[in-house]
Amino acid sequence: MSIESQVVSPARFSAQIRSHALQTRIMDLILEQGLDVGDALPTESELAAVLGVGRNTVRESLKVLQALGVIEIRHGFGMFVAPNNFSALTDGLAFRGRLSLRHRGEEAMELIDVRQALESGLIGSAIDLMTEEQLGDLRGTMELMEAAAQAGKPLAELDAEFHRKLYAPLNNELLINLMDVFWKVYRQIHRALGSGPVDLGEQARVHWEIYQAVADKDKTLASERLQRHFDGIRLKLKDVAAR
């Protein structure tokens, strides 16, 4: 089959290939048996028997699949095909980001660049597709953010929610997940560095401006303000990275 088709290099990584092959076999098994999200997998012991490997070995692969968001493991109950879950990317990316910050923080910047491109590039379509209800929802989040800012509470979660709702009209879960990952990674890096002073009022104001442009259906302005929003984030990150 296609399991062994991805030859990477002579035999230097044969172990990795075997291990990866086992993961692939489990995923193929899921697909072949027609299992869907929420369905239960065979038990660890059964899998070990079926795949002809030891239970510990199969467990290593299962843990990987869990980390990749493919399966969900519930102690004492069983294993199940997982719903979409991008936490894997978060951890991996956050690690790379923190690692890079010890140099010149390039990867963290790249992350912002990608997010900026995605968001400012897609805001047009989002505005086109946004319903009145969704707009109202967005405004609700803004009002919560305003209240939080005045109360001196952190805006992080509301910030994420704002961006999530901004692109909800596109009805693209992958996109939402990706943006969520980027946001979390940024937060994690920021937290690891020890955030500098934050101006809550300013933060809320920037989002209000974006909201206004969206409410006015002014795609160009919205895109432009999003660009500036990310420019600001980039500057702040550069500040913090400079220590």
Applying CB under 7 A, the span of 15-23, 83-91, 103-111, 128-136 interacting with DNA comes to 15-23
CB closer to a second copy out of 21 and 215? 21
Using CB under 7 A as the binding rule, whether residue 53 contacts DNA is answered as yes
Using CB under 7 A as the binding rule, whether residue 79 contacts DNA is answered as yes
95 binds, among a second copy, DNA, none (CB under 5 to 8 A by kind): a second copy
Say how many CA atoms lie within 13 Å of 28 toward its Cβ: 10
Locate all alpha helices (DSSP H) within the chain, ordered by sequence. Answer: 14-32, 44-51, 55-67, 87-101, 106-129, 132-151, 156-166, 173-193, 200-215, 219-242
Using CB under 7 A as the binding rule, whether residue 45 contacts DNA is answered as yes
Per the DSSP assignment, residues forming a β-bridge with 80 are 40, 72
CB closer to a second copy out of 139 and 178? 178
81 binds, among a second copy, DNA, none (CB under 5 to 8 A by kind): a second copy
CB closer to DNA out of 1 and 11? 11
- The one among 20, 24, 27, 57 contacting DNA by CB under 7 A: 57
Q: How many CB atoms lie within 10 A of CB 130?
A: 22
67 binds, among a second copy, DNA, none (CB under 5 to 8 A by kind): a second copy
> Least distance in Å: CB of 51 to a second copy?
16
Q: How many residues bind DNA (CB under 7 A)?
A: 28
> Least distance in Å: CB of 202 to a second copy?
27
DSSP, res 40: B
142 binds, among DNA, a second copy, none (CB under 5 to 8 A by kind): none
CB closer to DNA out of 9 and 171? 9
Cβ(48)–Cβ(58) under 8 Å?
yes
Paired tokens of 156: 């992080």
- Rounded-to-integer distance, Cα 216 and Cα 227, Å: 17
55 binds, among a second copy, DNA, none (CB under 5 to 8 A by kind): DNA
C-alpha separations of 194 from 99, 239, 241 in Å: 15, 12, 10
Cα–Cα–Cα angle for 122, 125, 130, rounded to 5 degrees: 120
- Rounded-to-integer distance, Cα 168 and Cα 60, Å: 36
Residues near DNA (CB under 7 A): 11-12, 14-16, 18-19, 41, 43-45, 48, 52-57, 59-60, 62, 73-79
